[in-house]
Structure 1
Amino acid sequence: MSDARGTGPLRQALHDGWTLRAVSGPQVPPEIDGVTVPATVPGCVHTDLLAAGLIPDPYLDDNETALAWIGHTDWSYETTFDRPGGTHQRLDLVCAGLDTVATVTVNGVEVGRTENMHRGYRFDVTSLLQPTDNTLAVRFDSAYRYAHAHRDRLGDRPNAYPEPFQFIRKMACNFGWDWGPTLVTAGIWQEIGLHGWSVARLATVRPLVTLDGVDGRVAVQVEVDRLADLPLTVRAQVAGVTAETTVAAGQRSATLTLDVPRPALWWPRGHGDQPRHDLDVTLHGPDGDLLDAWHRRIGFRSVRLDTTPDAHGAPFTLHVNGVPIFVRGVNWIPDDVFPTRVTRERLTHRFDQAVDANINLLRVWGGGRYESDDFYDLADERGLLVQQDFLFACAAYPEEEPYAGEVAAEAAEQVTRLASYPSLVLWTGNNENIWGWHDWGWQEQLAGRTWGRGYYLDLLPRIVAELDPTRPYWPGSPWSGSEQIHPNDPAYGTTHIWDVWNTDDYVKYRDHLPRFVAEFGYQGPPAYATLRRALTDEPLAPDSPGMAHHQKAIDGDAKLRRGLDAHLPAPRDFDDWHYFTQLNQARAIQLGVEHFRSHRGLCMGTIVWQLNDCWPVTSWSAVDGDGRRKPLWYALRRAYADRLLTVQPRDDGQSGTGGRSGTDGRSGDGFRTDAGGLVLVAVNDGGQPWRASVTVTRLTVTGDPRAKTTLALDVPAYGTVNLALPAELTRPDEARRELLIADAGDPAGRALWFFAEDREIDYPPAEYDATVEPADSGQLVRVTARTILRDLTLFPDRLDPSAQVDDALITLLPGESTTFTVRSTPPLDPTALTTRPTLRCVNDQQPHVPGPVPGTRAG
């Protein structure tokens, strides 16, 4: 005991002086074989070799393929350090994350082996340390060799890709996905260091936050590691309330309960504020000395999942603080293949993009990682809800050892780590694995072998119930709530909709009436500047070598072409193809979101696949791999706005096929191909009633009115109103030349409905006037339409990779104007800013009749 007096706990990072070398591998290039390079810790092999100039950037062209040998090679990291001062009874080597199959030695003595990227490790090295020049080495065996050995031992199991990712507890998408490269990493990917302590330490602190009426309760579950059988004191404090308890000699756990009267509640964004409170927990010895401390910010809120059967099946509705929340979500994948490049600053930017697009939930997909504390802290701060998948995706997973033990340890560690974050509202057992077992031919291939059912329906729900009973658990995405009901039944629980992208036109979204859509998506290429950075193709073409390599989806380009053929004029060149495929992606998702939101009450959530990318690629993302917003992002911002005005087909009062609607704050767009009726739907996800007068007009594409009416809107908070439209509005005289406009004024803007496809509409050639004037940090581009301009979009990144624009996909009628705000470091050429291919609209496919030469006006 006397050893510890005056010596508090020690935490010393060991991040300096590391080197890296290849140990063995069948294809190590001669310029790397036997070479030792500096290593950055935390980091990984790829980033170290890239920093040393020994490999090309794996994200460019097809370099990924030439670097496949890295994942088949063994690697060794090594550093030296001095023993820290102090009189700590115990010195532990703490490894927060090792990727993945590692052997750790200190001064030549093996202290441990690891085989799980998703958990941390702690090794007692007290007796091994000398005063100076201690050698720490971490050898990483090939992830492929490990996975193949267990596959051969246990028997193969089906998965979505020809890679063995289900046979190793590692980030699955390292092995390639239909949006990601095959870059199998190794390295010390999280913090590593020494922890010195005496007498006892806090092993885990797990606060369970609940509400009892208007009052809050925090049950702080504490576990301690001991070196002495002495009584210990644990103290906790939050929001001015304190509690203290004794951990008797021989005991290792305790619970402290703090009752907080009437705390301010934490709410999802759009429903209230996000107050948080400092929770401090300290551990003291019998003489009062501080032995250890823990700190976290918590929020008071309740969460409940309503799946009570009803006349339509069974809902899937999240309730926060007793209020049902319509989820306006996006799926989140790792933001970089190399996790240490995902800094807090980068996450902050990505979260700002999510909030600015009116998103309120991020689903952390099961083929990536358990996200970082920075990720969750930012979600708490911004009121973004989080659904965290356990890490199983698109494969049959073995349940034999060592996997069962690793999964149990991993799940317990991550549930404990994340239990304090109010933004986390749902644990999900897996991504598409139960669905795969039902529908993807797995049962015959498995021939009775394990596939993961025991994890999703037994082990994981038991761990969540024991360690985090304050949150719901859902066995899979998708999942119907029962093994007796098909896992992707749209009337029950959660649904994934992929027939639209894979086999059907996107208007088929209107055939679906799901209770909750956890995945649906449509592809589009990244920004032009992103392509130009990543590819050396000359010229760029949809099928040029680099473009083809950066399209990972099966038949992806054919599916993009199918979508274009159904809706838009034939592209004349790559610039047309790029604009039209991005436009089609935005239209597809806007159609789906508006349809699902128009059935608010029956459907209570949409989670679009996907927000982000991990490298430059043609994919389903709204923000590309270089962080640039695609047109889809702007469409999401409109479709997810608190107030949505949309025109929808209602053939039988419930659903319809064909047609497209949209809103864009100024104007939206849509088309109709069937003969059913149309309704105007107003969706209010705000906390105040929405009362407005809506003018609905049928007019020609040249601006001539044909019919008109005015409707009164009175939409309650968090409610929906459907207004049938009279036949004189919904039956055009000339479908190829007419459209419908519903205008409620700002902030809901307008909803437009076109009666024919773009490729069929008799658009006049695009005519407009444009001016450019300087503004703070950029320029203002004002466009005044002399004819209709359909889905007007400005792409300033074509002129400067740093340039950004504030809006996109704006449809102008003759005489209307809009102003784009462009942010860029250098001023951009006014003529280039206001002409094709930087400024685009659908009907610039028609022969362009130039107006006055665009010019610069002094501002």
Structure 2
Amino acid sequence: MSQHTPLHTGWRLTAALGSPVPENVAPATVPATVPGCVHTDLLAAGLIDDPYLDDNETHLAWIGRAGWVYETAFDWSPGTDTGTDLVCEGLDTVATITVNDVEAGRTSNMHVAHRFPVRHLLREGENRLAVRFDSAYGYAERTRDFLGDRPNAYPEPFGFIRKNACNFGWDWGPTLVTAGIWRPIGLHEWTARLARVRPLVTVEDGVGKVRVHVIADGGTAGPLTVAARIAGQRVEVPVADGEFTVELGVPEPELWWPRGYGAQPLYELDVELLGADGTVHDTWSRRVGFRTVRLDTAPDEHGRRYTVEINGRPIWVRGVNWIPDDVFVAGITRERLAGRFAQAVDANVNFLRVWGGGIYESEDFYELADELGLLVGQDFLFACAAYPEEEPIAGHVEAEARDNVVRLASHPSLVLWTGNNENIWGHEDWGWKDELGERTWGAGYYFETLPSIVEELDPARPYWPGSPWSGSDDLHPNDPAHGNMHIWDVWNTHDYTHYLTYTPRFAAEFGYQAPPAYATLRRALSDETLAPDSPGMAHHQKAADGDLKLKRGLDAHFGEPADFDDWHWLTQLNQARALSLGISHFRSLRPVCTGTIMWQLNDCWPVTSWAAIDGDGRRKPLWYALRDVYADRLLTLRERDGVPVLFALNDSGAEWHGPVEVTRLSFDGRVLAKHSATLDAEAHGSARVDLPAELTTPDYDRAELLLAEADGRRAWWFFGRDRDLAYPEADFEAVAEPMTGGYAVRVTARSLLRDLTLFPDRVDPAATVDKALVTLLPGESVTFTVSGPEGLDAGAFTAAPVLRCVNDTRR
């Protein structure tokens, strides 16, 4: 039986001789965590300040320009095995590995696992293992100088090294260029081994087909057999040279479905490498699911579709974009991912798009998605830049694509490979053509290399060249009528009401900024007085003209905030409103529009950004809006031909049939007109209800609203922007009482209260609340359930700036 021995203990870290590091760091040898990275080791040793706080990031650029050496010692005794390999699942990035001072191998790709034969370098007793990391900057800049510069969205050389691109800074991320052993490392001792196992799992004519493609290294073990087992079926085949296949069939398997469409049954697939005497030399196992996946991109009367189909059923994608959940990716634990996925599921998300400027996500990530029924689209790692297609980059691209397609192909949650993020669009619209001349920019990867690798290694899963991409060279790559598109004129140049002008087939990226939670800001910033332009706030705003764009949104809808508390509340509210408007509009366009993937679910540090969940894991008001607008059943009022129209959008598996009542009311609660109708929305369908003129034509648009109610759900319509509406002064009674595990905060409205929201983190950083953005008519009540520590001042939950509504901003 082969043996894996982790080598994760006893590591020490030093700066490489001659590296440009501070005087206190140069002679230091500090304990190193493996898996881990240089930044977190230096932080644990007290040699640097926390890079996430204030502007500390700017004082740590030297780390990415230095060389670093990790060293450890381990005991080893020779056994009967014929092979001993050092297996490195992830080295970040430009590494030289030595065993007992003899070079065992070199790497310069963060995204590939490596295996180095080291038996000839080992000796009985103590052995020394060292990994030297050269500067990622130095490598990238030398490659750039050799191949010629290429345009990108940021003045950093990330396109010239196969590394987590957003380490070099993004419009939501810090510039913290890491190095380290970021995934497990260990010794593998073997006599014969399973060199590669690549199962392809499909459903054909009601039978679950498992084709296990195997490459075995027999060493000196003699005749070998591979046995594969699943669902009570077991097949053995003799080992052959090269790649060979073991085929199994499971009659009428339980199908794996995305959440909301069915269950997620998973089957254990076990593979063994057996000797002639039955000895088990090596094993491999993974849980797999039976399902089919198709991306329907056929032309139709509206343009070109972009519809994800699972088991033959079209899925309306309620998605979010995913970035690495921490700059220091080695520290992203399964527990942390489980918490973030729970937040996604609670927000009614069914799709995660793994964005192309980060990493190929971990086994933990994909196993959790398999279990929860979260669909995943994985970008190949190219983002916002022209990438050279010459060596050494080309060889690295092919190696990492092969490595990660094989690693991830067995996961039922993975439903789509995408060639890049915005590079085809960038080449078309961002002035790259003139700057590039005849130089390569990545087209060969997206249209030749990557699709051929997917076709060879993962033929049952669709590939799409880019996000966005319209499906043809004859079309603009970001054409709303064809394929998938990104919408960034909203935020960059237009008010969020501009979403209403779009009819996308599939909106794969769009978003709006807001600051993180108040408690997150107070933890991360030492600004004595917080202001939009205070030093810490300014440093944690990475978007070009970000604060000006936030101000443009506030000016359009609310006017000038009175103070920082108003600014913080209203920018977060504007973000929630923007995405709620966009998504509800796009959902109302079904079946022409087949999905949305908002930018973005999560953050990697405390920052003003487009995220619904901030860098400390706190939910912004946007998260609550997302939960509402991504609900299985959504009632929404949307404008058609200048008047509001009611839509019932039904992504549940049952028909939505029943009465709906729409009322025109004055802000003081008086009924001005009423209309009753019947909803009839089929499962995974929609219904439209046109409204009579007495509802859609207000007498006094500044002080009237529409309310639609059906099946316990509500939809609101106001006839103008907030700054133009005659909101009454907020009048309510609020009572907060301790309860088991927290506090109950009951608010009874005496006036209209719009988007009532409670911010418990302002009372205690650990406190959370169950709901937000609640609109009440006079006489109505709501109870907010706050989870938090005992002994807090309950009265603090009942007044501003903890309890807010839009009425607070009336001028």
Same fold (TM over 0.5): yes
Cα distance between partner residues in 2 of 1:827 and 1:331: 38
Alignment of 1:708-723 (within 5 A): 708-723=674-689
- Give the SS at the match of 1:82: strand
Shift of 1:84: 4.3
2:729 aligns with: 765
Deviations 1:187-230 (A, max 9, x none): 000101100001x2101111101111222110111111232384
1:820 aligns with: 784
Which of the numbers 186, 194, 200 marks the counterpart of 1:202? Answer: 194
CA contact (8 A) 1:25 1:72 kept: no
Cα distance between partner residues in 2 of 1:180 and 1:195: 37
Shift of 1:484: 1.5
Alignment of 1:18-97 (within 5 A): 18-24=11-17, 27-84=20-77, 86-97=79-90
Shift of 1:771: 1.4
CA contact (8 A) 2:321 2:598 kept: yes
Alignment of 1:480-559 (within 5 A): 480-559=470-549
The answer to whether 1:796 aligns with 2:789 is no
Deviations 1:303-334 (A, max 9, x none): 01111100011100010001000000000000
Shift of 1:25: 5.5
1:431 aligns with: 421
The answer to whether 1:110 aligns with 2:76 is no
Specify the code of the residue in structure 2 equivalent to 1:689: E
Shift of 1:681: 0.6
2:651 aligns with: 685
Shift of 1:449: 0.4
Identity of aligned residues (%): 66
CA contact (8 A) 1:526 1:625 kept: yes
Change (3 A) 1:791 1:84: farther
Cα distance between partner residues in 1 of 2:229 and 2:442: 41
Alignment of 1:639-718 (within 5 A): 639-651=629-641, 676-718=642-684
CA contact (8 A) 1:305 1:316 kept: yes
Cα distance between partner residues in 2 of 1:583 and 1:341: 32
The answer to whether 1:729 aligns with 2:695 is yes
Shift of 1:774: 2.0
CA contact (8 A) 2:19 2:67 kept: no
2:375 aligns with: 385
1:192 aligns with: 185
Shift of 1:301: 0.4
Cα distance between partner residues in 1 of 2:144 and 2:297: 38
Cα distance between partner residues in 2 of 1:827 and 1:217: 59
Shift of 1:85: 5.4
Alignment of 1:839-850 (within 5 A): 839-846=803-810
CA contact (8 A) 1:216 1:259 kept: yes
Cα distance between partner residues in 2 of 1:465 and 1:229: 34
Cα distance between partner residues in 1 of 2:599 and 2:721: 25
The answer to whether 1:212 aligns with 2:204 is yes
Which of the numbers 107, 129, 132 marks the counterpart of 1:139? Answer: 132
Q: 5+ residue gaps in structure 1?
A: 1-7, 652-675, 848-859
Cα distance between partner residues in 2 of 1:294 and 1:723: 55
The answer to whether 1:394 aligns with 2:358 is no
Moved more, 790-799 or 767-776: 767-776
Specify the code of the residue in structure 1 equivalent to 2:693: A
The answer to whether 1:224 aligns with 2:216 is yes
1:405 aligns with: 395
Shift of 1:131: 1.1
The answer to whether 1:314 aligns with 2:304 is yes
CA contact (8 A) 1:247 1:253 kept: no
Shift of 1:101: 0.2
Structure 1 residue runs of 4 or more that deviate by more than 6 Å after TM superposition: none
Cα distance between partner residues in 2 of 1:827 and 1:515: 52
Shift of 1:129: 0.7
* Alignment root-mean-square deviation, CA: 1.0
Deviations 1:331-381 (A, max 9, x none): 000000001221000000000000000000000000000000000000000
The TM-score, its normalising length taken from structure 1, stands at 0.94
Cα distance between partner residues in 1 of 2:637 and 2:631: 15
Specify the code of the residue in structure 2 equivalent to 1:63: N
The TM-score, its normalising length taken from structure 2, stands at 0.99
The answer to whether 1:336 aligns with 2:320 is no
Number of equivalenced pairs = 811
1:755 aligns with: 719
Cα distance between partner residues in 2 of 1:398 and 1:231: 45
Moved more, 810-819 or 224-233: 224-233
1:664 aligns with: none
Cα distance between partner residues in 1 of 2:425 and 2:43: 40
Cα distance between partner residues in 1 of 2:736 and 2:770: 15
2:254 aligns with: 264
Change (3 A) 1:287 1:52: same
- Give the SS at the match of 1:288: coil
1:461 aligns with: 451
Cα distance between partner residues in 1 of 2:394 and 2:275: 37
Shift of 1:535: 0.1
Shift of 1:24: 4.2
The answer to whether 1:630 aligns with 2:620 is yes
Shift of 1:846: 4.2
- Give the SS at the match of 1:491: coil
Q: 5+ residue gaps in structure 2?
A: none
CA contact (8 A) 1:225 1:252 kept: no
Shift of 1:830: 2.3
Specify the code of the residue in structure 2 equivalent to 1:694: V
Specify the code of the residue in structure 1 equivalent to 2:156: E
Cα distance between partner residues in 1 of 2:795 and 2:681: 45
- Give the SS at the match of 2:371: helix
Change (3 A) 1:84 1:618: farther
1:128 aligns with: 121
Shift of 1:763: 1.1
- Give the SS at the match of 2:16: strand
Deviations 1:566-606 (A, max 9, x none): 11142100000000000000000000000000011100010
Deviations 1:154-185 (A, max 9, x none): 11000000000000000000000000000000
The answer to whether 1:151 aligns with 2:144 is yes
Which of the numbers 733, 739, 744 marks the counterpart of 2:705? Answer: 739
Which of the numbers 422, 425, 441 marks the counterpart of 2:431? Answer: 441
The answer to whether 1:300 aligns with 2:300 is no
Shift of 1:757: 1.2
Shift of 1:100: 0.2
Specify the code of the residue in structure 2 equivalent to 1:80: A
Which of the numbers 219, 225, 233 marks the counterpart of 1:233? Answer: 225
CA contact (8 A) 2:77 2:123 kept: no
2:239 aligns with: 247
CA contact (8 A) 1:779 1:827 kept: no
Cα distance between partner residues in 1 of 2:792 and 2:502: 45
1:369 aligns with: 359
The answer to whether 1:415 aligns with 2:405 is yes
Specify the code of the residue in structure 2 equivalent to 1:276: L
Cα distance between partner residues in 1 of 2:643 and 2:666: 20
Moved more, 737-746 or 464-473: 737-746
Shift of 1:776: 1.8
The answer to whether 1:176 aligns with 2:169 is yes
Specify the code of the residue in structure 1 equivalent to 2:651: D
Specify the code of the residue in structure 2 equivalent to 1:725: L
Specify the code of the residue in structure 2 equivalent to 1:432: E
Cα distance between partner residues in 1 of 2:794 and 2:279: 69
Cα distance between partner residues in 2 of 1:626 and 1:750: 32
Cα distance between partner residues in 1 of 2:205 and 2:758: 51
Cα distance between partner residues in 1 of 2:512 and 2:220: 60
